[in-house]
Amino acid sequence: QLQASGGGLVQVGGSLKLSCATSGFTFTDVGIGWFRQAPGKEREGVSCINLGDTPRLYADSVKGRFTISKDDANSTVYLQMNNLKPGDTGVYYCAADFGANWGIACALESHFYDDWGQGTLVTVSS
């Protein structure tokens, strides 16, 4: 299971830190991705982190503003979001890629992910 939390209402330029708590699988054996879906738009990949020391990926729209990290001891992945913009508004989901492999970078395409949590709503007001 995955459970995203930490969303809320924030003004432009503000920050939020999302958490993705996981259970029911071996956390260190999976890749984790963050996705978001804005009203009327398709879901898009935001960031992902994989096994071992592979590069963390970010969508171009969030590079330099968002940072993904993981806490193996607590089986949790975080998404620190800074300098938030109205375009960041949406429901944020975390998902697990059970097919992740050591040394292979993660992917921002949703079809690689097998298990999805319920989302958390982020609203950025101008």
Contact present, 123 and 10 (Cβ < 8 Å): yes
Q: For tokens 């020391």, what's the residue?
A: 53
Encode the chain (126 residues) as per-residue pLDDT tens digits: 999 999 999 999 999 999 999 999 888 888 999 999 999 999 999 999 997 777 899 999 999 999 999 998 999 999 999 999 999 999 999 999 998 888 788 999 999 999 999 999 999 998
Q: Is 126 helix (H, G, I), strand (E, B) or coil?
A: coil
CA dist list (Å): 27 to 78, 81, 98, 105: 13, 23, 10, 16
Q: For tokens 């809320």, what's the residue?
A: 8
Beta bridge partners of 124: 10
Q: How many other CB atoms are found less than 10 A from the CB of residue 119?
A: 19
